[in-house]
């Protein structure tokens, strides 16, 4: 054992060997070429040449309450307290394409986010919030295309040209098959819908990120930091391939690709992940796809601090964890941050805990000085060496996936799932044996009185208001227009046209989420999860 009590031969959370001291010998070779300058290829140090003090990252707290009116009030509160971007949490029925009055949806309406059954809900969520003045992120995948159509329809109703609409839609179905589960269709039609929305945004909404390729859910499902990065970039390669097959030049859509990660507790490895990710993606886009526009090379990342790292035991420790994770994210040079509230291991956060989570970012941004220098850890022997190692290991894993035919066959055969399951099992064994310390859980634990937390139960009046609105929409809309829009959508889905214009017509005719995805299910079928072998 060392004097710190830690066993010798430490490794990072991904298993990369860590030495007790680093010297110039650890960054031999064309070091300057690898790290470059901030704002220049390969962007190891930063996408931009100026520090955050010139332009802070976006404070984007993930939030959504049961009904549209309640969510609207929460967004107005957070914006009034200094939040600079919105992030919409949708309930499960909305995520998998069922209306809130569907028998399958009954117990889930509004439980984990806002219920969005029609354009009317989206209009209320952004009532009094100009889409010209705020960027909005949607963590939505299976129903991303219709959700995007609804958001654009609201912009049009507000008189905001699509060319000025800013935001991000997650729209990443591949990781849903592996780690999250809100898929609807088999991979091929799902990828078609994603390519449809990427193409539509490139043509009509050039400031809107058409996809946020997400590693976050791999990480929270048990993937290591290196696996999270490799799987995410391999997904990105798949989306670029599918869109290019349409004959669209890569530089026409690649600047609107973005990424989404969880920052976990291994402070320096998480910093190295973002630095290595920028360098790897820049090389992939330039060398593999021949992108020439520097904006196509940029690995723009939003992150979540919290997630599976939050503990129910001694939950106030989560405040500390999230603060460190936020600092690692900022030192890693990300573009937007969501800091989870300490009580999210139990419930949807209260207004008070949500405000504290936002203040965590604001203290970091305005009081600590981390915003004053670009990539302040650049040149650190340890950080540069670790960045090289993360890049090297992630590149190996991407090569392995390529050799197996790419992400789609790897997912269909359960290969990615098996890698994550194996690593999650190993991590759990380390926690149970005490090899991996979780403060307050397997070390420094004590008898404690459960904290007084105001759990969030879906208010009955909110559910009632939402269901009454859904019924009114169905009764008061132009029925012939809605029927024609769904018929046109079905024809487009059976053919090869881009479905986005037809989805825009359908949502503007107040067709409901369940009607739209019921129509598409009739064309595309549904996905059956493969049997996984460890």
- Separation of alpha carbons 361 and 410, rounded Å: 38
pLDDT in tens, 63-95: 998 899 999 999 999 999 999 999 999 999 999
- Separation of alpha carbons 362 and 58, rounded Å: 11
In the sheet with 85-88, reading across from the earlier edge strand, the strands are: 208-209, 167-169, 136-138, 85-88, 58-63, 336-339, 301-305, 257-263, 211-214
How would you label 302-321 residue by residue, b for 16+ Cβ within 10 Å and e otherwise? bbbbbbebbbebbbebbbeb
What is the reported pLDDT for 534?
Answer: 52
How would you label 327-365 residue by residue, b for 16+ Cβ within 10 Å and e otherwise? bbbbbbbbbbbbbbbbbbbbebbeeebbbbbbebbeebb
Tally the C-alpha atoms within 13 A of residue 438's C-alpha that lie toward its C-beta: 19
What is the reported pLDDT for 106?
Answer: 84
* pLDDT beneath 70: ranges in the chain: 1-8, 530-534
Of residues 208, 293, 191, 200, the one with CA closest to residue 256: 208
**Contact 213/230 with Cβ under 8 angstroms?**
no
**Contact 210/253 with Cβ under 8 angstroms?**
yes
- Separation of alpha carbons 131 and 269, rounded Å: 36
**Contact 223/423 with Cβ under 8 angstroms?**
yes
Q: In a 3-state reduction of DSSP, which class is residue 437?
A: coil
Residue located via tokens 């009034």: 80
- Separation of alpha carbons 176 and 142, rounded Å: 8
**HEC-encoded secondary structure of 303-328:** EEECHHHCCCCCCCHHHHHHHHHHHH
In order of 13, 132, 200, 257, 258, the CA distances from 207 in angstroms are 36, 11, 12, 11, 12
**Contact 48/294 with Cβ under 8 angstroms?**
no
Of residues 474, 441, 363, the one with CA closest to residue 120: 474
What is the reported pLDDT for 347?
Answer: 85
pLDDT in tens, 195-205: 999 999 999 99
Residues in the chain: 534
What is the reported pLDDT for 1?
Answer: 42
- Separation of alpha carbons 168 and 207, rounded Å: 9
DSSP letter assigned to residue 11: B
**Strands 301-305 and 257-263: what pairing?**
parallel
- Separation of alpha carbons 342 and 339, rounded Å: 9
The two tokens of residue 501 are 């214009």
- Separation of alpha carbons 29 and 12, rounded Å: 23
What is the reported pLDDT for 528?
Answer: 80
**Contact 189/142 with Cβ under 8 angstroms?**
no
**HEC-encoded secondary structure of 290-303:** CCCCHHHHCCCEEE
């Amino acid at each position: 054992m060392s004097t710190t009590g830690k066993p010798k031969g430490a490794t990072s959370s991904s298993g990369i060997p860590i030495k007790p001291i680093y010297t110039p010998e650890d960054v031999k070779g064309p070091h300057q070429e690898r790290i470059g300058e901030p704002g220049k290829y390969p962007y190891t140090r930063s996408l931009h040449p100026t520090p955050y003090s010139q332009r802070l990252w976006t404070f984007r707290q993930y939030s959504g309450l049961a009904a549209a009116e309640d969510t609207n009030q929460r967004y107005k509160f957070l914006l009034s307290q200094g939040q600079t971007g919105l992030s919409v949490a949708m309930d499960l029925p909305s995520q998998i394409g069922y209306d809130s009055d569907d028998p399958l949806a009954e117990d889930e309406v509004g439980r984990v986010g806002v219920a969005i059954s029609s354009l009317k809900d989206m209009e209320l969520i952004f009532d009094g919030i100009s889409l010209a003045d705020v960027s909005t992120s949607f963590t939505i995948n299976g129903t991303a295309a219709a959700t995007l159509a609804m958001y654009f329809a609201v912009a049009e109703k507000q008189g905001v040209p699509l060319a000025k609409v800013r935001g991000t839609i997650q729209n990443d179905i591949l990781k849903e098959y592996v780690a999250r589960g809100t898929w609807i269709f088999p991979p091929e039609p799902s990828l078609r819908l994603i390519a449809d929305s990427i193409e539509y945004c490139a043509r009509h909404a050039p400031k809107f990120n058409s996809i946020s390729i997400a590693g976050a859910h791999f990480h929270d499902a048990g993937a290591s930091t290196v696996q999270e990065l490799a799987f995410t970039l391999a997904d990105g390669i798949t989306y670029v391939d599918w869109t290019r097959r349409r004959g669209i030049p890569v530089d026409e859509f690649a600047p609107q690709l973005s990424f989404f990660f969880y920052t976990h507790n291994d402070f320096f490895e998480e910093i190295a992940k973002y630095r290595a990710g920028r360098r790897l993606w820049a090389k992939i886009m330039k060398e593999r796809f021949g992108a020439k526009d520097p904006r196509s090379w940029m690995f723009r990342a939003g992150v979540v601090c919290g997630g599976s790292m939050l503990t129910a035991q001694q939950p106030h420790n989560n405040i500390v964890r999230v603060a460190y994770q936020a600092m690692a994210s900022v030192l890693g040079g990300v573009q937007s941050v969501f800091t989870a509230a300490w009580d999210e291991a139990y419930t949807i956060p209260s207004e008070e805990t949500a405000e504290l989570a936002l203040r965590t970012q604001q203290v970091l941004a305005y009081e600590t000085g981390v915003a004053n220098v670009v990539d302040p850890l650049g040149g650190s022997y340890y950080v540069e060496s670790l960045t090289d190692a993360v890049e090297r290991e992630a590149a190996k894993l991407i090569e392995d996936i390529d050799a197996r035919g790419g992400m789609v066959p790897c997912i269909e055969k359960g290969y990615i799932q098996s890698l994550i399951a194996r690593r999650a099992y190993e991590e759990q064994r380390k926690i149970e044996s005490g090899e991996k310390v979780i403060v307050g859980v397997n070390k420094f634990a004590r008898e404690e009185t459960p904290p007084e937390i105001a759990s969030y139960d879906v208010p009955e009046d909110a559910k009632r208001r939402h269901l009454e609105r859904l019924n009114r929409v169905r009764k008061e809309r132009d029925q012939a227009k809605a029927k024609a829009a769904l018929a046109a959508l079905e024809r487009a889905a059976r053919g090869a046209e881009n479905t986005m214009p037809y989805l825009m017509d359908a949502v503007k005719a107040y067709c409901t989420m369940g009607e739209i995805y019921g129509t598409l299910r009739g064309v595309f079928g549904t996905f059956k999860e493969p049997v996984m072998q460890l």
